[in-house]
Structure formats: structure tokens, C-alpha cells
Amino acid sequence: MAKDFPTRSENYSQWYNDLVIKADLAENSAVRGCMVIKPYGYAIWEKIQAVLDKKFKDTGHSNVYFPIFIPKSFFSKEASHVEGFAKECAVVTHYRLKNSPDGKGIIVDEDARLEEELIIRPTSETIIWDTYRNWIKSYRDLPLLYNQWANVVRWEMRTRLFLRTAEFLWQEGHTAHASREEAVKEAETMLGVYADFAENWMAIPVLKGVKSAGERFAGALETYAIEALMQDGKALQAGTSHFLGQNFAKAFDVKFLNRENQLEYVWASSWGVSTRLMGALVMAHSDDNGLVLPPKLAPIQVAIVPVFKNEEQLNLISRVVEPIKKALESRGVTVKYDDRDTHKPGWKFAEYEFKGVPLRITIGPRDVESNTVEVARRDTLEKETLQITDIEEKVVHLLDQIQKNLYDRALSFREQNTFSVNTWDEFVDTIENKGGFIYAHWDGTAETEEKIKEATKATIRIIPLNNMKEAGRCVFSGKPSEQRVIFARAY
Amino acid sequence: MAKDFPTRSENYSQWYNDLVIKADLAENSAVRGCMVIKPYGYAIWEKIQAVLDKKFKDTGHSNVYFPIFIPKSFFSKEASHVEGFAKECAVVTHYRLKNSPDGKGIIVDEDARLEEELIIRPTSETIIWDTYRNWIKSYRDLPLLYNQWANVVRWEMRTRLFLRTAEFLWQEGHTAHASREEAVKEAETMLGVYADFAENWMAIPVLKGVKSAGERFAGALETYAIEALMQDGKALQAGTSHFLGQNFAKAFDVKFLNRENQLEYVWASSWGVSTRLMGALVMAHSDDNGLVLPPKLAPIQVAIVPVFKNEEQLNLISRVVEPIKKALESRGVTVKYDDRDTHKPGWKFAEYEFKGVPLRITIGPRDVESNTVEVARRDTLEKETLQITDIEEKVVHLLDQIQKNLYDRALSFREQNTFSVNTWDEFVDTIENKGGFIYAHWDGTAETEEKIKEATKATIRIIPLNNMKEAGRCVFSGKPSEQRVIFARAY
């Protein structure tokens, strides 16, 4: 554990990178752009997976698994899709290695060239819709509500741990429906699931909306997204769901016999969140002392540190700790009792603080005498002395409070960093000097959107769902606008 | 649901293939050798994962994630490892596609050739040990007890759903230790975990042992394996754990400062099971009527089918079923109440039988009057009428009985198909006409092992753990032997 890393105000970007590595969440691998997710980081991802997986199942979805390889020809079938992904595809061309003739190592065996190259999936719409063709004959076969947990590869040139990596882990839902309405509803339902997860588990408030045409998923008619604000005033897209219309059904010829006995193309949605959420989690709550994790996703919720000088004292303390630990565990609280004698209490305090453990309980011989413990909150760094008699209730209550406090803090930060601007000068000034979410009028054209991006690096994050209509003038072009949209610089 | 598939005695191989596809477990994908795992099949795999993952954690392991790509040069570092895997490697050579100049589709962009080719992991020892070098400095950093759930690719030429596919899902444990003894103990412990899982969850009895040198994992000093017997008399390797010695530590220069303050190479183990277990599960228990699943891994343990002529009757039945369903669910039983009016009861009976649901409960208006239900066991196809009053206890008990019966049946089958032979004629006759496990003396040479394989397609499955020493003559060469080993034809 080391604290030699910059504060957020010194260098937010470096603070993030160092924190991810030093808190043992992940590190860069020997393969360019790919990460190793370490045990502590993976434990958080497992919690994220478990909660989301249950939500998917509760909304009627089942898990499946499709191949990691996509034949190159599949890619060409949906025009905008290939346009969106072709430039970042890892391509498999051979299926064998052989010994180098010069005896130095191994080389690719040119005799083992694939007839058709295979793409490592950057997303699976194409192979899945090619398969759905055989699964769907009639409206009775619909809807198909499937999801897969998988790794995907997008050959990004500039990568950052969790936020943008060549390989990442994610889930991708791919659903098939008998009507436009049902597919749209599915995309909206899953956006709701993501928003609920972000707010009530990750403790991150999010804005819900749709993307502008220019920011849509390659192949979608509508892309819904949740957007969160990070502590440096930049936005982070935390999840997307897409209404795909009949695009993939047409590309892969997937038709069904409807209730009127007529052949019709199938309607589609897809939706996904990835290990990027780990980046959002770190950036939303952590501070200059290290990670801060919301209790609902913390691998360790309570660390108990005994303060002792000898084995006798440790035994005395352990006899008091054991029933506390059991009582907490019976309430579903994850407890680590760190009774190692190889590390001093001060080292342990620093370690659990740095790793973002929500609550630390300290207990020494005098506490045993007075039947008390010291409880330290990670979010506020406050300490208080509590009676052991009602410790179980208190801890459960404190964990709830921390969860709520993190959300409230993040919400308050977002509110303080959300601005409504009416002129281009205001817009530029806000982006340059304040950051945050900017509500501004936009004339609705891709051209203006692009020019604003070129000038300020700000993009339209979303057009809010159920947006209030308000006549105005585009902040850039001065042309008429009927609503404000949300701009920000983004990860 | 369709029963038009051969019986086991007609064509075991076709019976298996058809069953996997028709029972909606998996199907072949558009990509050669890769499978699509369908919802019903994936639900079983999720149960397998959940049980194993808990066992891994209970034995002190954490999950991690390493990149899917392995730089080609890593492969050459451990000589026998590259020898074992080079011939079946999928190789990534490019990272971009572009539009074809002729306007017809997309082609690989030759300007985007990787400096060093990347191999899709066939197993992850090399990239993991390259990483462990940075994680291990002293004995205090050991052991590392990590596992990952991942997809891997081995470019097999002849593939079969679940049993042998180019891409498959698995878990791979990779542990690092300060001593030979500890690494050996780890490999043995994990073999025990696998055997426990196979016997007590999959209901498949297994033999534990070590592989002959010729059958060892590429890079291992010792490979431990569990072997199961399928209904056609062929063996199936259901899990392996490897003692890797210091081979990978030497190849990747991973040393630690031991308690004596001396630099020493780290000791290693690795262990894995894969979606192959799904194949074993199907082949071990299923019959000519379809799948038979052990209750502990069945996605649906009890299917309740109402028999009704009109909505009034259905409502009557549903009022009785609801409390039964709730009571069973409160006992942890997975229940599906199939009250669809789109399918007739007979169709549903056939469906649940074919899908291997352990228990089916049928209830009609007359049953409601007499306060009874009909319960049908999938394993024995027996039916009995039970009082509703104690249905909950009865069902829980029946599920236990089915689990036990499947194991006992498989064990009895194995016992009837295990032979001890002393002459070459006996050996050949048994292999050709009976199959099964054959205990025979072997002179311990790779040459004899190879010749026996050439002559009979039988391989040494294992040398049993704690094998009884018994002086004898090699069944093939007639040379002295000190123990019997187990031969079989294998998947």
C-alpha cells in the first residue's frame, strides 16, 4: 500500500491511474491495451455481475453464449455497423504455428491460413442475428430475451484501465420482438434497469436520455444512455440500450409469421454495460486518501482491526470479536477480521482506508473492558465509540447511511456542476473553466454538433427522456431550437 | 420437442449429438467448430459454475482476469508447452479492416499488421506467469491462489458439441507456492474438489489418478485427472490438475526470497474443468427418452402440469398449486408451473421428460377433490399418487432419492464395466467387445503405451492414486510390471 500519488486537484487523470493500480484493482498487461483485473478489482466486478444478472433474470431474460469469432462476411451485411467497427477489429487469419526453420522460436504457419478471416467480436449483433434466423419462425417464438456475459475486443489506440481497453468484459443483451413498440419498450426497460443499478447500487446519480444521431450505436435507430458526472466535471456514459428497428433482421433475413399470418421482419434491441463501470465507480466516489466504495458493492464491508501487544491480549479481543463477526455475517454483512501479527494496526488502518472499506472497527484491551469499539467511516473519515451491545444494528444502519451519503454527495456535486447557458461565450467559458453538464439549445443538425465538438471537445451526451420543450436559439448557430440538450466533455 | 432420434444401442454417437441439439442445450454455429450454448444448456452451466466457484472460494481462491491474447514470443519460452499447443492456435495478425477497393465488402487492412502476432489463449500459464513475476518478491507474497472463468480456443480439427470445440468455456486455476510440497498438495486438493463435484453434484462416479508421462499436460511434471465412464463404455476425462514444478517460473524468471533469504524459483500448479462437463453430464445419465438430469444441476427440478378443460378448472387447480409451489420454493426447490393453454398436457409431459426435469407433478380436477397429485420420476419413469398434505417433504425426499439413484446407477454401470485382464488376447477382446475400464499391467514405457494405442485405440487413462503394488507382466510386452494401470478408449 502506498500513498505516493497525486491528489485529484493536482492531476485528476494521474490520480485515477495510480489509484486503480495501487489499490490492486487492475494493471496493464504485457499485451498492448489489455488489462489484468486483479482479485480485489475482480471481486467488485463479481458483485456488479451478480446484481445485474439477477435484475436481468427478474425481467425475464436468460443467459446464452455465442462464439467469440465472427466471420468477416457477416460484418459487411449491416452497412452502418461495419462502418462503426471495422477500424478497430482484431482479425484472426491463421490457425497454427510452427517451429521457425532457423530454430529460433516459432512462426505463423502460412499453410494454415483461414479461408475467411475471423473477427474477434467487438459486439455480437451480427453472429446472433445470423443465428436467430433459425430460431424464429412465428410470433409464437417471440420474444427472445437473451443476454450473454462475455469478453469483447475493440482495438482502441489510446487505452486507460477500465475506461477504455482493447479487451473488456461486459454483458450484451440481444432481444427479438414481434413489434416496434415491444422492442422500444424493451430498450427503455433495460435503460431503467441500468439507471436503477447505477443509482441504488453504485450510488451514482445518472441522467437518462437518447443519443443524437451522430452518437448512436452503429446500426441503431435510437440509442438510450445513462450519463454520470465524474469529479473532474467530465461525463461518463455508464450504459446504453439500443432500439435496432429491423436493421439486423433485414441484414440477416430474419422474418416471422405474424398473427395475421404475414411474413414480417423481426424487431430488435440490444443493451450492454461493461467493466467501464469499474472506472465510473472509482472516479465517482474516491478521494485523495484512496478508494471509497459504496457498501453494496464493497468486497469487504467491515474490517475489524484488533490492537494488541501480546497473544494474551489478542485472545481476549478475539473472544469479543467472534460473536460480533458472526452476528454481522448473519445479517449479510461481509466482515474481515484482520488478526495478523505481521502488520501493525496503523498499517492496517491505512490499508483499509486506501482500499475503500466502508467501515473499520478497532478494538483494544481497554475497549474490551468498557464493552465498546471504535468505528470509523470511510466516506466521512469520522470516528465514534459505540457500545458492543447494539453494534450489529448500528453497523447495518451505518452501512445504509454510507450508501445514501455517497449517493447524496454525488448528486449534490452534479447539481452544483450542472449549468444552463444561453450564449456561445457562456458555453465556451463554462466548458473551459467549470466543466460539468451544460444544458443548451441546439439546432438539431449533425453539422453544428460536429463544430461544437471541434471547438470545445464537448459532445451532446443526451437529449433527456421526456425533455421539456422550450423554444430558443441554438447556442452555436443561432438557429431555432425547440429544446435544450445536455453537453459535456466526456470519457 | 422431437423424439425422432436414434436410441443409444442403435447409434450412441448420433444419439448424443441429436439429444444435445433437440433438448436445446447447444448447437453448431456459423463458425467452424464453435458452438452456441442455448438458454437451457447455459442454465446448467451456470449451476455448475456457481457450485464450483463456491468450492474454489471455500478453499481460499480468488478470481482474476487475464487478457485473452498471448504474445507469440511468450509461447516459445516453455519448450514442451509450445510443443503441445502450437498446432492448434488461433493467431491474430491484424487489427483493422477496410473497405475493399472494388467496393465489394471489406478486407483486412494490410497496413494494420501487428508487429508481433497474438495467440488467442488455449490456456493461460504463459501470460499469467509473465505477470506473476511482478507480483512475487518474497515468501510473504505466497501462495497466490487465483482462478479465472474464461473462454479459450484450441483449433481442433474434429469437433463435437461440448466434448471438443474450437472455443470452449472453462475455469483455470493458477497457483504459486513457496515449496514443492505445497504445490503438489494444491494440485491434489483441487483434484479432490473436482471429484467431489463430479460425484456429489453431477452424480458421476470418477476414478482419481495421475496420467502417464505421454498423457501429461504440456509443461507439467505431474497431471492428476478424474476419469468417468460413459454409457458406451468409453472413458471421459472430466477434470485435470497439474503440478508444474518450477517449469513456468524458470521460463518466465519468477523467483522469490525464501525464509532463508535465498532466491528460489516459485512452484506452480494449474487446474481446470470446462464445458466438456456438459457432455459428460448428458452422456452419463440420459436415456432413449431424452435427457436425464441430476436434481442438483437441473434448471427446473419440478414441473407442475395442470390438466384442465376450461378456465374454471384451471383456476380451481391453480389455487391448489400456488401454495405447493411456494412451499417447495421456500425449501430451495426450483419449480415451473406450466399453466399455458397453448399446449396440451400430453405435449408438456413429453417435453419435460425429454428435457430431463427430475420430477413432474400432474394435477387435475379429480386430484383437487381427493387432495392428491400424481408424481412422475424422470429417472425411473415411475408414477405414484401422493397426498398434497405432505407433498413438500415428499418432493424434497424424492429429489434426494433421484440424485442418489443416478449416482448408484452410474456406479453400478461402471462396476459392471470394469475388467481386470492378464493377457493381450483378453485385452484386445475386452476393448473390442466390451469396452469399459481395463486394469492391466504395463511395463511403464512410452513405447508400449504408444503401441497399445495404435493397436486398440485404448490409452492409459490413469495410474490410480495410492495404487496397489502388484508384481506382474506387461500385458503387451511381457516385461515386468509392478502395478496395474487403467486403460480405456476415451473421448
Residue A287 has a pLDDT of 97
Same-domain pairing of A395 and A434: no
CATH code assigned at B201? 3.30.930.10
**What is the spatial distance between Cα B196 and Cα A476, in angstroms, rounded to a whole number?**
68
The verdict on residue B302 lying in a domain is: yes
Asked if B294 contacts B402 with a C-beta cutoff of 8 angstroms, the reply is yes
Q: Find cell 524459483 and name the residue.
A: B265
Same-domain pairing of A247 and A391: no
Task: Give contacts of A66 with chain B, Cβ < 8 Å.
Answer: 29, 36
Task: Give contacts of A97 with chain B, Cβ < 8 Å.
Answer: 72, 75, 82, 86-87, 89, 91, 119
Same-domain pairing of B266 and B352: no
**What is the spatial distance between Cα B17 and Cα B22, in angstroms, rounded to a whole number?**
9
Phi, psi values for residue B218, rounded to 5°: -65, 100
pLDDT at B98 over 80: yes
**What is the spatial distance between Cα A281 and Cα A41, in angstroms, rounded to a whole number?**
11
The DSSP code for A484 is E
The answer to whether the CB atoms of A63 and B43 lie below 8 A apart is yes
A26 CA: distance to closest CA in chain B (Å)? 9
Cα pseudo-dihedral A146, A152, A154, A156, rounded to 10: 120
**Band of the pLDDT at B105, cuts 50, 70, 90?**
confident
Whole-number average pLDDT of chain B = 96
Residue B3 has a pLDDT of 63
CATH code assigned at B304? 3.40.50.800
A92 CA: distance to closest CA in chain B (Å)? 4
How do strand B383-387 and strand B372-377 relate by DSSP bridges?
antiparallel
The verdict on residue B195 lying in a domain is: yes
- Answer with the residue of higher pLDDT: B464 or B4: B464
The verdict on residue B234 lying in a domain is: yes
Residue B294 has a pLDDT of 98
Phi, psi values for residue B264, rounded to 5°: -145, 150
Chain B residue nearest residue A72, CA to CA: B106
**Confidence (pTM):** 0.97
Angle between helix axes B391-416 and B276-285 (nearest 10 degrees) is 90
Chain A residue nearest residue B87, CA to CA: A96
Whole-number average pLDDT of chain A = 96
Q: How many CB pairs under 8 A join A and B?
A: 189
The per-residue pLDDT for range B244-299, each reduced to its tens digit, is 999 999 999 999 999 999 999 999 999 999 999 999 999 999 999 999 999 999 99
Same-domain pairing of B397 and B472: no
Q: Which residue among A238, A257, A285 closes a domain? A: A285
The per-residue pLDDT for range B432-463, each reduced to its tens digit, is 999 999 999 999 999 999 999 999 999 999 99
Domain count, chain A: 3
Residue A3 has a pLDDT of 63
Same-domain pairing of B352 and B447: no
Asked if B424 contacts B404 with a C-beta cutoff of 8 angstroms, the reply is no
Same-domain pairing of A431 and A354: no
The string over A374-398, giving b where at least 16 C-beta atoms fall within 10 Å of a residue's C-beta and e elsewhere, is bbbbbbeeeeeebebeebbebbbeb
The verdict on residue B2 lying in a domain is: no
The answer to whether the CB atoms of B67 and A150 lie below 8 A apart is no
The verdict on residue B366 lying in a domain is: yes
Q: Which of B36, B96, B153 sits opposite A66 (nearest CB)?
A: B36
Same-domain pairing of A188 and A273: yes
CATH code assigned at B471? 3.30.110.30
The answer to whether the CB atoms of A65 and B37 lie below 8 A apart is yes
Same-domain pairing of A170 and A195: yes
The answer to whether the CB atoms of A76 and B105 lie below 8 A apart is yes
Same-domain pairing of B23 and B100: yes
Task: Give contacts of A254 with chain B, Cβ < 8 Å.
Answer: none
Task: Give contacts of A35 with chain B, Cβ < 8 Å.
Answer: 67
pLDDT at B141 over 90: yes
The verdict on residue A245 lying in a domain is: yes
Asked if B271 contacts B98 with a C-beta cutoff of 8 angstroms, the reply is no
Task: Give contacts of A39 with chain B, Cβ < 8 Å.
Answer: 62-64, 146
**CA distances to A428, A487, B162, B251 from A419, in Å:** 12, 10, 56, 57
A41 CA: distance to closest CA in chain B (Å)? 8
Chain B residue nearest residue A130, CA to CA: B30
The answer to whether the CB atoms of A36 and B66 lie below 8 A apart is yes
The answer to whether the CB atoms of B105 and A39 lie below 8 A apart is no
Same-domain pairing of A279 and A381: no
Give me the interface pTM, i.e. the ipTM.
Answer: 0.96
A29 CA: distance to closest CA in chain B (Å)? 7
Same-domain pairing of B137 and B80: yes
The verdict on residue A1 lying in a domain is: no
The answer to whether the CB atoms of A29 and B131 lie below 8 A apart is yes
**Band of the pLDDT at B231, cuts 50, 70, 90?**
very high
Same-domain pairing of B374 and B241: no
Residues of chain A with pLDDT under 50: 1-2
A46 CA: distance to closest CA in chain B (Å)? 9
The answer to whether the CB atoms of B76 and A151 lie below 8 A apart is no
The verdict on residue B409 lying in a domain is: no
Q: Which residue among B285, B303, B334 closes a domain? A: B285
Sign of torsion, CA B467 B470 B471 B475? negative
Residue B131 belongs to domain spanning: 12-285
B490 CA: distance to closest CA in chain A (Å)? 25
Q: Which residue among B401, B427, B462 closes a domain? A: B401
Task: Give contacts of A175 with chain B, Cβ < 8 Å.
Answer: none
The per-residue pLDDT for range A55-84, each reduced to its tens digit, is 999 999 999 999 999 999 998 888 788 888
What the block records as the C-alpha cell of B205 is 462416479
The DSSP code for A252 is T
